[in-house]
Structure 1
Amino acid sequence: MSHATPEALLLLHAASTPAGFVASVRDLANYQRIWTRDGVITGLAALLSQNEELITVFRATLATIFAHQHATGFFPSNVDPVTHQASYGGNCGRVDNVSWAVVGLLQYAHLAPDGAAFAAPYAAQVARAFGVLDAWEFNGKHLVYVPQSGNWADEYVQHGYVLYDQLLRVWALELAARHYARADWAAQAAAIRAVLSRNYWPDPAADPATLYAPNLVHQLQKAPTGHWLLGFNPARVYPQLDLAANALALLLGLGTPAQDAALLRLLAERLAAQPGLLPAFSPAIERTDPLMAELADNYAYEFRNLPHEFHNGGRWPVWNGWLAAALHQRGAVALAADLGQRLAEANRHNPLDAARWGFYENLHGQTHAPIGVPYCTWSAAGSVLAEAYAQGQRLLTF
């Protein structure tokens, strides 16, 4: 393990509670709650760390979030470990939490010694989770419609058929199909993969009649190339590169060899052109961009999405960790190692206490200064995932 990993594991131990992993050891706002997304990502890192104590905390995390699954099928945004009150989101719930919960459960089932026995009683809840995702398709055409603020980037502009959420659903379906021997879920995942392959990587040579909707015929003419699209809705194709979605696309093997090669070239060019981590979404939405009007009022307490900050071009260790893992899986070892070193340097930076690793939520897109909450477990998880993949460990993918 790298020098980053012991520090990261220390933070995961410090963030351990009887109810699971909290989002940060800093007692600020609701960061000392059990979050579905943060808790699962941290738990996946715990699984790959092979630390028995941390794996036990992941088990508790899963038990907490599944105990608070809504009757409709979706999962909480977070659960207070003291009062046991669950929050299902502010203006909007979180679509990605549904798939993250299932992915976490079934990776635990695959990798933990007691995993199969632990997952067995949750079969009906997994089916209920897929049921709500089916309902959120609205048109029965294989893609979930994600409302604005409906996933991890809850103060950003994206809404509609967002690729990141579709990929997580595919991963959850494929894991569940294998674990519960459900051929129908395997077939559904394959159908979704086909839709993603056709609609999220522009192909001028393909028959336009096979696109998801007629709007895409003219919208894709203005779409960027060389990477998987963030997503689209009836009004637009989003131009930004979504780091999380492209990392998942590599990890889950969505692309052809030619597409993978093009994406790896683009990522290598962007890493060579700048120091530090890659932004979660790039380019940043500037003040003169028409999308800024849509971005400016989407906040609960204070506006954090200034250009190059937070979701708007901020550099998030968690998604860079996932990308490093995906690069290792695709054989881009040198690129992955470079990114892993940058990730360690980013996670080390701590203006509060130079002797302690900061593990900040994100870093400024231009200055690389830490932003947001320090001592975040999923930032630490990014380093653990990157190093575990460098050492040859793998989560189950198809």
Structure 2
Amino acid sequence: MYTVTGEVEQARKAALEVLQHNRRGPCAGLPRTAGWGYPEPYTRDMIFTFFGIAVSGDEQLIASMRRVLEVLARNQTERGHIPSLAHDPENLGASDTTPLFLVGISIYRQLSGEENFLQEAAEKALTWLYYQSPGDRLLVAQLPTSDWRDEQWVLGYGLYVNTLVYAGLRMFDRHQRADAFLQEMRHFTITSNIMHRHVHEGLTVKNKPYYACWSYKIYSSERFDLLGNSLAILTGIASRSRAERMIAWIEEECSVMRERGDLASELPPNFFPFVKPGDPDWRRRDEEFNMPGDYHNGGIWPFICGVYIAALVATGKYQLAERKLHALALAVKPSRAQHLDYGFNEWLRAQDALPKGQNWQSWSAALYLYALRCVEERRTPFFEDMRKRSSREQ
């Protein structure tokens, strides 16, 4: 079994310090998204922190989970949509907040034993999601910049959001719908200029081990989305054999990027190959916000790396997961514009691994704790049964 090293243990203590510092902020007493830069309680950030808080054993932090979920339920729209800011019912339009809400409720239920916690709000959220498919089928669609990537276009059926929808269906025992959902995921993206009648697009990429970033009719992006694909492994959407091939492909591609100077870390970027000026999907705003290797266009995001480490554990790649955890413990140390022992920064630039986002980011700290627990126990809390069910449908 895994023996925790000094670096890894020091980072664990620092992560708990970050989450305690951020536990209460200026907005309705809800947690802060980051120590200084983001005082607001962003819904998606808050719920991703549940992964780590739930395995922390810290009663104060666990109580903050309940408070976030209850406020979100109070601010849920009449039709079931969950706001982007937990305390602001008018801040709407995100594609990932509603399925994340379901995931958050389930994690809290598993932790607390309260089987019917926020049942009415959960039913409303499920109903909302059922109406998000323009083809009135199963995969849900989104508009550009409506998920966690506010500076990147994901159009139509996005992988990341649909992995969350799938998780929500499994967690709330909608197994028949989830089984059918898996079948839709297996449809290939459409590579022809003609969409034939009764042919439905999916997110499987021909001759590649990973899933497309997004797909809609004859359009798709086959650039690699680390968060979406890691969640596909964690939830069991990807079969064990596909997951193994995908991980081998990720590690090989990252090795090539390191050789040519595009990657200065042992950790993978959130998105690659990077979009470059002149590419069809390059946009003018990218010059200011999303240069190659920056932010959503290939930045290294500690919270996503935590999910990737969990995916490695889910696939039985324990030694690789241990190496990546040690790399993550080193990556969360640098801070930007502040003197801190541990920065737990939002993201790092791929080419030099320098922190460029906000320090003491809650989800960076929380997903470190979750990744560490996964490596220590060689299991992935809250997702083990889901993968077993998924594997029966592969």
The corresponding residue for 1:181 is none
1:289 counterpart = 2:299: no
SS in 1 for 2:308: helix
1:173 aligned partner, one-letter code: L
Give me the whole-angstrom Cα distance separating, in 1, the residues matched to 2:332 and 2:277. 29
Runs of 4+ in 1 over 4 A off after TM superposition: 208-211
Give me the whole-angstrom Cα distance separating, in 1, the residues matched to 2:153 and 2:207. 18
The corresponding residue for 2:382 is 396
Give me the whole-angstrom Cα distance separating, in 1, the residues matched to 2:252 and 2:330. 20
Residue 239 of structure 1, CA deviation? 2.0
Which residue among 40, 43, 46 is the counterpart of 1:36?
43
SS in 1 for 2:170: helix
Give me the whole-angstrom Cα distance separating, in 2, the residues matched to 1:135 and 1:318. 30
SS in 1 for 2:371: helix
61-70 or 163-172, which deviates more: 61-70
TM-score for the superposition, normalised by structure 1? 0.85
Indicate if the aligned counterparts of 1:19 and 1:61 stay in contact, CA closer than 8 A. Answer: no
Give me the whole-angstrom Cα distance separating, in 2, the residues matched to 1:86 and 1:358. 31
Indicate if the aligned counterparts of 1:325 and 1:390 stay in contact, CA closer than 8 A. Answer: yes
SS in 2 for 1:191: helix
Q: How does 1:1-398 map to 2 (within 5 A)?
A: 2-3=8-9, 4-17=11-24, 19-26=29-36, 28=37, 31-79=38-86, 84-89=87-92, 93-112=93-112, 115-116=113-114, 119-120=116-117, 122-177=118-173, 185-199=174-188, 212-213=200-201, 225-273=208-256, 274=258, 275-293=265-283, 296-297=284-285, 303-392=288-377, 394-397=380-383, 398=386
Indicate if the aligned counterparts of 2:336 and 2:359 stay in contact, CA closer than 8 A. Answer: no
Indicate if the aligned counterparts of 2:346 and 2:364 stay in contact, CA closer than 8 A. Answer: yes
1:47 aligned partner, one-letter code: A
Give me the whole-angstrom Cα distance separating, in 1, the residues matched to 2:350 and 2:132. 34
Question: Which 5+ residue runs of structure 2 have no aligned equivalent?
Answer: 259-264, 387-394
Give me the whole-angstrom Cα distance separating, in 1, the residues matched to 2:64 and 2:200. 42
Percent identity of the aligned residues? 24
Give me the whole-angstrom Cα distance separating, in 2, the residues matched to 1:292 and 1:224. 25
Note the alpha carbon deviations across 1:189-239, whole angstroms, 9 max, x for none: 111111112336x99xxxx998524xx8xx988x66121221211342202
231-240 or 305-314, which deviates more: 231-240
Question: Which 5+ residue runs of structure 1 have no aligned equivalent?
Answer: 178-184
Count of paired positions: 363
Give me the whole-angstrom Cα distance separating, in 2, the residues matched to 1:107 and 1:220. 28
Residue 87 of structure 1, CA deviation? 4.6
Give me the whole-angstrom Cα distance separating, in 1, the residues matched to 2:198 and 2:14. 49
> 1:140 and 1:251, CA in 2 relative to 1: closer, same or farther beyond 3 A?
same
Give me the whole-angstrom Cα distance separating, in 2, the residues matched to 1:235 and 1:157. 16
Residue 94 of structure 1, CA deviation? 1.1
SS in 2 for 1:34: coil
Indicate if the aligned counterparts of 2:271 and 2:299 stay in contact, CA closer than 8 A. Answer: yes
SS in 2 for 1:250: helix
